Amino acid sequence: MVQKEAEGELSQLFENQLYKSISLRRSSHEERILKLKKIREWIKTHQEDIRKALWQDFNKPAPEVDLNEIFPVTSEINHAIKNLKSWMAPKKVSTPLPMIGTSAWIQVEPKGRSLIISPWNFPFNLTIGPLVSAIAAGCTAIIKPSEFSPKTSELIARLIRDLFEEDEIAVCLGEVEVSTELLKLPFDHIFFTGSPTVGKIVMKAAAQHLSSVTLELGGKSPVIIDSSADLKDAAQKIIWGKFVNCGQTCIAPDYILVHDSIKDQFIMQAKIQIQGYYDPSFNGIEKSTDYARIINLKHFQRLQNMLNDALVKGGQIAFGGKTEISSKYFEPTLIAAISSEMSVFKEEIFGPILPILTYNNLQEAIDLINSQPKPLALYFFGTNSSHSKKVMDETSSGNMVINDCVLHFLHNELPFGGVNNSGIGKAHGYHGFLAFSNEKGVLKQRVGYNNVSLLRPPYGIKAKQIISSLIKWF
Ligand code: NAD
């Protein structure tokens, strides 16, 4: 295990990556692809170790590890391998008339030394995923995984130690102090995934060095269920998206806004789905090996307080509510009769509690969403396309999904990320590659030719005429 807590050691490690980061500017797509293939191979041969680490961290079921931790990473790798040559190729741009005679293109170059700080909820995916983008872009990286998922963090350290020299990629394990020390260093790019509160700390630290940032944050992602929705289909998708990973998913539906006329039918469908997914034989959901646990006691207590707060303030449990502190088991829970004073309404839930609010006309739902910070994802269920378009046009969110939820994370052609409070910058595929790249605009002029020769001082009448026609026509 690499423990690098001493300030001097961290800055030495950072210094050691300087030479490598410069030499990586010249690395070819083949060299970068080779590194990605090595990671893919390591994952293949250590799949059981990855499953074991995540089970030890919070009982994440093996199929969820395969689907939500491993597959997004291997898919990201495969997508980069397929496209990296074209992503790296100089992109010619057209020549505007006043630039006639020149040629110009966009040359991507690696930003240089990057820092990746990751959370505990999808600790493998959300660490190695951004690393794939960093490697594709030709950056070095120092990785600080979460202290709350220690087994997976140790496994990540092993992966990196097995495949890379520390002057290219290194892992720094430890608590918040390690992040704090790392954030004092002048990284060229910081890719942070975590809460908006810590995102602000990261951005403030980055500002000291004008390091660029990608902030993949959280927030409250709403689900609108229109009166035109197929409720069985909606419930099947929403219940999976909400309770996978025990609700500890940044893009999980945070709350439901269902049309008042179909609320009871939706709740009935939602209960059927929870029962069907996690307890088809009625033995108790706590017996299911397909349902994860809350990561630690701090978060368990936070969620318990949230639930108690809702109940004290008039919330009604429509399903679930059972908890067991010793195993950190928290039943999938639906609550109705929500009011704006409740913490389930005000704070990101990040756990298996699903508040159900109602609306009578779509504008009400839109106004409610617009009165809150912009969400990471917004989900709309319904077949009325003028309603989905209205929601699309009149709200702002990092991503929007119609008639499904969470699925967009796996679409590697789409930019993934938030907007303002839910994030800055985008990840995945080409967008992730660009996050770690500087798009250098290059202009090439012919020797002896000058587009502005007539425009040099002393400014005569001709120069003035040309300048006015430039303003008028171009
Ligand atoms: P967090 O912000 O508490 O921690 C994330 C990382 O930051 C950890 O590695 C932690 O060690 C470090 N950190 C914590 N406090 C710090 C500080 N004061 N200074 C510097 N570094 C610090 O988040 P978390 O609890 O690990 O994850 C949950 C949050 O992450 C939720 O808000 C969730 O929505 C969000 N999230 C977002 C995405 C996304 O892709 N947008 C994905 C997963 C989680």
Read off the pLDDT of each residue in 269-285 and give the average, rounded to a whole number: 97
HEC assignment per residue over 10-46? HHHHHHHHHHHHHHHHHCCHHHHHHHHHHHHHHHHHC
Cα of 327 from ligand 1 centre, angstroms? 23
Whether the predicted pLDDT of 164 surpasses 70: yes
| Domain co-membership, 195 together with 228 | no
Closest-CA residue, ligand 1 atom 12, reads 176
* CA–centroid distance for 427 within its chain: 7
Read off the pLDDT of each residue in 357-374 and give the average, rounded to a whole number: 98
Whether the predicted pLDDT of 23 surpasses 90: yes
Q: Look at 8 and 347; give whichever has higher pLDDT.
A: 347
User: Percentage of the chain surpassing pLDDT 70?
Assistant: 99
Per DSSP, helices labelled H in 189-296 are 196-209, 231-243, 263-278
Answer with the one of 415, 446, 462 that is the final residue of a domain.
Answer: 415
pLDDT tens-digit series, residues 209-233: 999 999 999 999 999 999 999 999 9
| Domain co-membership, 54 together with 146 | yes
Neighbour-count burial of 49, counting CB atoms closer than 10 A to its CB (0-12 exposed, 13-18 middle, 19+ buried):
middle
pLDDT tens-digit series, residues 93-139: 999 998 999 999 999 999 999 999 999 999 999 999 999 999 999 99
Read off the pLDDT of each residue in 281-307 and give the average, rounded to a whole number: 97
Give yes or no: 216 in active site. yes
pLDDT of residue 6: 66
What CATH number is associated with residue 227? 3.40.309.10
User: What is the residue range of 77's domain?
Assistant: 4-217+425-438
Examine residue 472 and state whether it is found in any structural domain, yes or no: no
User: Percentage of the chain surpassing pLDDT 90?
Assistant: 94
Contact between 197 and 218 (Cβ < 8 Å): no
pLDDT tens-digit series, residues 325-335: 999 999 999 99
Model confidence at 41, pLDDT cuts 50, 70, 90, reads very high
Whether the predicted pLDDT of 450 surpasses 90: no
Read off the pLDDT of each residue in 434-441 and give the average, rounded to a whole number: 98
| Domain co-membership, 354 together with 432 | no
Whether the predicted pLDDT of 165 surpasses 60: yes
Whether the predicted pLDDT of 309 surpasses 60: yes
| Domain co-membership, 191 together with 137 | yes
Q: Ligand 1 site: residues with CB under 6 angstroms?
A: 117-121, 126, 144, 146-147, 176, 179-180, 193-195, 198, 201, 216-218, 250, 348, 350, 376, 418, 423
pLDDT of residue 429: 98
pLDDT of residue 2: 42
| Domain co-membership, 174 together with 98 | yes
| Domain co-membership, 166 together with 19 | yes
| Domain co-membership, 207 together with 230 | no
**Residue 330 forms beta bridges with which residues?**
323
CB atoms within 10 A of CB 1: 11
Cα of 379 from ligand 1 centre, angstroms? 23
**Mean pLDDT score across all residues of the chain:** 96
pLDDT tens-digit series, residues 191-203: 999 999 999 999 9
Read off the pLDDT of each residue in 416-430 and give the average, rounded to a whole number: 98
pLDDT of residue 448: 87
pTM of the shown model? 0.96
| Domain co-membership, 213 together with 268 | no
pLDDT of residue 449: 82
